[in-house]
Chain A
Amino acid sequence: MALLQIAEPGQSPDPHKRKLAVGIDLGTTNSLVATVRSGESVTLPDEQGRHTLPSVVRYQASALPEVGYEAHARAVEDPHNTIQSVKRLMGRGIADVRKLGEQLPYHFERTDEGMPYLVTAAGSKSPVEVSADILRTLQRRAELSLGGELTGAVITVPAYFDDAQRQATKDAATLAGLKVLRLLSEPTAAAVAYGLDQSAEGVIAVYDLGGGTFDISILRLSKGVFEVLATGGDSALGGDDLDLALANWLIGELGLGQDLSAAEARYLTEQSRSIKERLTDASQVEVELSVAGAHKTLTVTRDTFGELIKQHVAHTIRACRRALKDAGVSADEVKDVVLVGGSTRVPQVREAVAQFFGRPPHIDIDPDRVVALGAALQADVLAGNKPDSDMLLLDVIPLSLGLETMGGLVEKLVHRNTAIPVAKAQEFTTFQDGQTAMAIHVLQGERELVDDCRSLARFVLRGIPPMAAGAAKIRVSFQVDADGLLSVAAQELSTGVQSSIQVKPSYGLSDGEIERMLKDSYSYAQEDLAMRNLREQQVEADRLLQSLEQAIAADGTELLAAAERERLEASMRELRSLRAGSDYKAIEAGVKALAQASDEFAARRMDAGIQRALRGHSVDEIEEGR
């Protein structure tokens, strides 16, 4: 989907050219984009020199959306069209959004299930589209600043984001025309920014309290490998909740009822945010408030605020305790504690974390920027700019994945904190004689009852041959990739019949919807779809040819017989001539054919890699034995 750099026809892309890759922190309150420049990770400012971009989008009837500071400035005046904290709506159903219990000023389309569409002056917008508008702004900023098209981006997500929230984030990138090199957990990104600076080894804890999400991750650092041992958190708890707690207190002190207008409610949460921020340095703050007919000067002390947010802070510490237990380490084994996210500036939060882990946390890198800086370091590696880098980030799945079984119970197939990528399969059988279809309901969460877990998708497996109850064998397999994204397949085994299944994401966009939005999207308005398809296939062909050339140069003599090599090179010549033409379907077929022809070679190279890894070890041991 992404638009990549293309060399002039007939010119092969220069493999030595540095690829433009960025790290993007798509935050609840603010977003940032960073890149590696002369070996150093830096955040990129806009034309006015501002590094952060408020994650706020304002839609207008007959103009392009405003994104960032100008949108934020209109938030109180135009609350219905100005979307803030959209990250909290990502991958959520309308019912979840209502359960968030927030005074959301937006008008939602009247639907009882599925995605919450926001009604704006520019039409209905899904949270994915709003996020895509933020991503586009960052992409433009990066391309202007770096002087070229981006090869790809690492986009960070809260470690505790479930599959639907991750998928929604990836869809937003697709809509914005960005190639996602990896969805990276925010705490892991922060650990990378710290780890590479200080060449740390050992167990570290990353406590990340952002605008709308909370994460705790326990990682082990060893020789450039960042291994997540366990992760925990709450993807619906953040600075917004601290503001809301204070706003509710203000409402009480002002003697106001709950029937405030959207603009009044937003005025109070904005005031609360400002009071909270001032309380970081001041022990008390005096504010003059004028809202809904009430005028009053109030004094808020740090202690009062601490009391109001006590429950929330205690909740985060409980999550820390559980993450340590899941990781199998004790608090005193944790060598370093890193704080991430603007909300960790709140003194009560800092104190609670320091007390729980028994050591002062690190705050040397700006907690607002550290995630983007770490993401940029990984983007640089993934784009292929640092072939000798030893850095590797190993992640886990934050929440268990399972299927609905009889009686509304959940059977877990993949447990939380399992290392990813992971593949698991389980067999199920039919409940009734002659049953020819089976409903498969995929869920994520820790609870035993379906109703207490998040519904990810529903499938119907059809075409099961009629048999006695319990005779059919249906194998359901789950695959989770390195981004933490799940794909599910089901197959009837006893007859060998493979039935296809259709995915209906519970709260996501279908591929069809994404395709439609892409076509509608203004960034493609002038662009011919066929042209875009052609460019995509050319990129894929170039990538395959280039990687095969490198592979043959490295291992061709050792791993390929002369005849095999001849066949492979013939297939490459074939693709090169198709690549020169303009038939994207022919190129697509050529890519597929070459991929097939080189499958065996790729597998042999992987095996050679395994042998090398093990051989390296036995050499060490022989030397140690001496």
Chain B
Amino acid sequence: MDIKQNYFEFYGLPEAYDLDLGQLADRHLELQKQLHPDRFAHLSDQERRLSAQYTAYLNEGYATLRSPLLRAQYLLKQRGIDTHNESSASIDPMFLMQQMELRERVEEAPSHADPDSELAALDQEVVAAMSEQQAAFRRAIGGTSEAELEAAAAAVRKMQFLDKLSREIERLEDELY
């Protein structure tokens, strides 16, 4: 088995955006039981080294498939589009406007009268916008045409924006503690 193979194949799961997360978790534990370095603690250095490599790959695969954003990015990458490392791509101006407004509100949240509730409300909005983009991605990635692929990439780029925003909210929440 090639360690560079597709994560979906590694987990023996169909390559699709919709994934049974319970099944993924079960398989992850089964594979960990076979591969984790602790299984090789009393064996040779070479087996422990190999096992650490496999487990690192396994953990990376699990983190990728489990996260809706990383899974979407990964599916696109398999189709030749790397939205994670691209330097510039055009984004729907309407969406950008909304983002700027949201971002301003996030930046001002710490000086809000009730910063906790304001951040929680903003978080809710980001979550809602995120699931909207996930639905758009799900529709588009099922297709095979160039236009559908481009629509899927556009949805992922928006998800990346939203993800950054949600991290920013999390950071501000941490600072409030």
Contact = CB atoms under 8 A, between A and B. Distances in A.
Which range contains the number of B residues in contact with the other chain? Answer: 35 or more
A419 interface: yes
Given A606-B50, A617-B27, A595 B45 contact: yes
A599 interface: yes
Interface string A602-626: 1100110111111011100000000
Give chain A's interface residue range (CB within 8 Å of chain B): 35 or more
Nearest to B47: A602
Nearest to B85: A427
Interface string B91-111: 000000000000000000000
Contacts, number: 118
Interface string B17-49: 000000000110111111111110111111100
Interface string A373-393: 000001001111000001011
B46 A322 contact: no
Interface stretch (A38-46, A57-65, A431-439, A540-548): A540-548
A488 interface: no
Contacts of B60: 422-424
B32 A225 contact: yes
A70 B170 CA distance: 49
Given A418-B63, A419-B59, A482-B36, A603 B50 contact: yes
Nearest to B40: A547
B30 A182 contact: no
Contacts of A544: 44-46
Given A547-B44, A599-B46, A617-B26, A382 B59 contact: no
A463 interface: no
A226 to B, nearest CB: 11
B63 A419 contact: yes
B32 A595 contact: no
B56 A422 contact: yes
B52 interface: yes
A420 B42 CA distance: 19
B8 interface: no
Interface centre among A381, A421, A603, by most chain B C-beta atoms within 10 angstroms, is A421
A422 B59 contact: yes
Interface of A: 19, 181-182, 222-223, 225, 227, 318, 321-322, 325, 378, 381-384, 390, 392-394, 418-424, 446, 479, 481-482, 540, 543-544, 547-548, 595, 598-599, 602-603, 606-607, 609-614, 616-618
Q: Which 6 A-B pairs have the closest CB atoms?
A: A384-B42, A609-B34, A382-B41, A607-B1, A423-B56, A613-B30
